[in-house]
Amino acid sequence: MDSVASQLKQARKTRNLSQNDVATILHISRQSISKWENGRAYPDMDNLILLSDLYQKSIDELVQNNEELRKQIKNNDQKIKEDRAELGKINTELYQNRNEGFILLILVLASAIVPPVGIILPMYVMWRNNRYNALHKTIYLVSIIVILISAWGTYIFLSDNWLEPTHTEVYRID
């Protein structure tokens, strides 16, 4: 009786409970209980605590001297370390866009000089911007402001030259 599976099965039988009874009490499937008792899976900590209360045995009694569980814990720890290392690599790759944030901000500000360009280019910059760029919120804010100012400038340019053309009178001064 050195495995968790056999300990769980023995404790259930000692309490005269069926797998279905235990599953109903714990609000889980009967198949989960079967997997635990056959050694194909291990209960999580929450269920282990509930089982301990149900069987009136301490958690230590249920998992004591269990080499399989220790191996499983060691494997899980190793997997967690590998996953953390992988996530660290992914985060590093995602955060390498910091310089792009500054470039996008400069591009938006430079586009404000020419009003028609200041409408189109900030839209591209907002599409290109992502949350991993440095100053990504600032880029959105500046882009919207540049679009508004450029739209106003473009309207003035168009209205002065084509919509309401004014004529220039030349007066001769004697």
Q: Pick 156 or 60 by higher pLDDT.
A: 156
Q: What is the pLDDT of residue 121?
A: 92
Q: Are residues 101 and 158 in the same domain?
A: yes
Average pLDDT of the residues of the chain: 83
44 in a domain, yes or no? yes
| Residue reference for tokens 């198949």 | 31
State whether 50 and 104 are in the same domain: no
Which pLDDT tens digit goes with each residue over 20-64? 988 999 899 989 999 988 888 888 888 888 888 888 888 877 777
In a shared domain, residues 101 and 148: yes
The structural domain count of the chain equals: 2
Please report, for residues 79, 99, 116, the alpha-carbon distance to residue 119 in angstroms, rounded to integers and kept in the order given: 50, 23, 5
Residue 87 lies in a domain: no
Domain of 49 in residue numbering reads as 4-65
User: Is 149 domain-assigned?
Assistant: yes
Q: Please report, for the domain that includes residue 47, its CATH number.
A: 1.10.260.40
Instruction: Look at residue 2 and tell me whether its pLDDT is greater than 50.
Output: no
Predicted local confidence at residue 98, as pLDDT:
55
Give the pLDDT band of residue 95 (cuts 50, 70, 90).
Answer: low
In this prediction, residue 172 carries a pLDDT of 85
DSSP of the chain: --SHHHHHHHHHHHTT--HHHHHHHHTS-HHHHHHHHHTS----HHHHHHHHHHHT--HHHHHTT-HHHHHHHHHHHHHHHHHHHHHHHHHHHHGGGHHHHHHHHHHHHHHTTSTTHHHHHHHHHHHH--TTSTTHHHHHHHHHHHHHHHHHHHHHHHIIIIIS----------
The more confident residue out of 141 and 44 is: 141
Tell whether 104 and 151 lie within a shared domain.
yes
More confident of the two residues 74 and 110? 110
Q: Is there a domain that residue 125 lies in?
A: yes
Tokens read off for 128? 């290109």
pTM (two decimals):
0.43
